Amino acid sequence: MGYQAFTVQDAIERVRTLGLIGNEPVTAEEIGDGNLNLVFRIQAGEKRLILKQALPYAKVVGESWPLSLERAWIEQSALKEFAKVAVPFVPHVYHASKEEAFTVMEDLSHLTIVRGGLLEGEKYPLLAEHIGSYLARTLFYTSDFAVGPVAKKQIARQYYNPDLCDITEKLIFTDPFYDAETNAIEAGLEAEVDRIWNDAELKREVAKLEALFITKGDALLHGDLHTGSIFASAEETKVIDPEFAFYGPFGFDVGQFIAHLFFAAYPDYDRLRDERIKDIDTFWLTFASTFKALWEREAVEPFRKADGLVDDVLSTILQDALGFAGCELIRRTIGLALVADLEQISDSTVRLERKRHALRLGAALIKRRTECKTFTDLRNFDVTEELSR
């Protein structure tokens, strides 16, 4: 059949041919932003489906560059892999076509995208707990601690995802730390950014985190776990879009989620700060306790019986996560992909102040991450000094 980008009519025909809908009347529309994927919502009677198809390019801020369609297959495979171990948090996949780079999945329009929802004042009381559980399960069960090493190497080999890893490496670890064309630095933030570019210690620690990102294959990561990749309601949480999935370090997804909880406080910092810090508490406690419980019950030998090993592993995850969170805070404040949490602050003095805060917090997390060995250290992590300098 070969690949071609679908029209609305193509999308309808595909789901009909697949028997996912019958001959009843159908409505369908393309609801994607067209930057990376086409997203069709298809409704036939009571049935609602999403058909997502990868485009052979990426468009960001007017620029366009070619991007492998293989990422659709990565996403499909990762959704299935994650559903095996964390089914409540993963959208159901009805059909996946590698050749035509499309996936038919559950429509989640009864939920809202968390970033937008939080900006509108919506509450997700179970979000932190759910993502803690989701990550503990997906990370533990795809790691060498749960899977025999031969089987794990087989899985890891499938998620060789060089295109998207390369994007991450460039946009998170490289470009924000020098005067790259991709950066988007708001006027008034130059002095703050200069501090970053001239901070040799910071840049060395970022390079270490980058090396960790590209060399450590702990577990199958989502790879892009921000609040725009999560649909939720008061009761339900679904993690979508794992097209950046690859075998990477445990701390990466954990850190990205933490960073975006920090971002979610910025629209109304004085009011939201404590709420978001409580979310981070809940998230980490759920993650760590679930990971530990899974380990104690199901880790393979000799890891399970190695006294105290799981606590050391969790310490390392926490430290690495804080470093990755720091990188994410910086790149989402001055890099290519900015966040609405900051950009939608209308008062420019406040907005610049919050951006400055995000950059300082990011740098502190990167440079001082090894101070945090336990949850208590995390709670006591204080950046007053960095902020006042």
Instruction: With CA atoms as reference, report the closest residue to 260 among 86, 360, 114.
Output: 114
Least separation in angstroms between CB 46 and a copy of itself: 45
Type of residue found at 211: A
Least separation in angstroms between CB 145 and a copy of itself: 8
Least separation in angstroms between CB 204 and a copy of itself: 5
Report the residue number, 12 or 172, with the smaller CB distance to a copy of itself.
172
Report the residue number, 88 or 162, with the smaller CB distance to a copy of itself.
162
Instruction: With CA atoms as reference, report the closest residue to 8 among 44, 36, 41, 35.
Output: 41
Report the residue number, 105 or 310, with the smaller CB distance to a copy of itself.
310
Does residue 108 have a known ligand-binding role? Answer: yes
Report the residue number, 95 or 170, with the smaller CB distance to a copy of itself.
170
- Give the C-alpha separation, 36 to 332, whole Å: 19
Conformation bin of residue 55: beta by default, left when phi > 0, alpha when psi is -120 to 50 = beta
Contacts 24+ apart (CB under 8 A), 163-166: 163/67, 163/68, 163/70, 163/71, 164/71, 164/74, 164/223, 164/243, 164/244, 164/246, 165/214, 165/223, 165/244, 165/246, 165/248
Report the residue number, 45 or 162, with the smaller CB distance to a copy of itself.
162
Report the residue number, 121 or 302, with the smaller CB distance to a copy of itself.
302
Report the residue number, 38 or 172, with the smaller CB distance to a copy of itself.
172
- Give the C-alpha separation, 58 to 56, whole Å: 7
Does residue 331 have a known ligand-binding role? Answer: yes
Least separation in angstroms between CB 177 and a copy of itself: 7
Residue 338: what are its φ and ψ, rounded to 5°? -85, 170
- Give the C-alpha separation, 381 to 365, whole Å: 9
DSSP letter string, 339-373? -HHHHT---HHHHHHHHHHHHHHHHHHHHHGGG--
Least separation in angstroms between CB 140 and a copy of itself: 13
Least separation in angstroms between CB 147 and a copy of itself: 11
> Which spans of this chain sit near a copy of itself (rule: CB under 8 A)?
144-145, 149-150, 152-154, 157, 160, 162-163, 165-166, 169, 173-174, 177-178, 200-201, 203-204, 206-208, 210-211, 214-218, 301-303, 305-309, 312-313
Tell me the CB-side half-sphere exposure of residue 306, using CA atoms within 13 A. Answer: 12
Sign of the torsion formed by the C-alpha atoms of 174, 225, 163 and 107: negative
Does residue 38 have a known ligand-binding role? Answer: no
Report the residue number, 92 or 204, with the smaller CB distance to a copy of itself.
204
Does residue 242 have a known ligand-binding role? Answer: yes
> 56 preceded by cis ω (within 30°)?
no
Considering only CA atoms, give the Rg of the chain.
Answer: 21
Least separation in angstroms between CB 371 and a copy of itself: 17
Tally of CB atoms within 10 A around 190: 10
Least separation in angstroms between CB 246 and a copy of itself: 9
Does residue 224 have a known ligand-binding role? Answer: yes
Does residue 307 have a known ligand-binding role? Answer: no
**Residues placed in the known binding site for substrate:** 224, 331
**Residues placed in the known binding site:** 37, 52, 106-108, 224, 241-243, 331
**Residues placed in the known binding site for ATP:** 37, 52, 106-108, 241-243
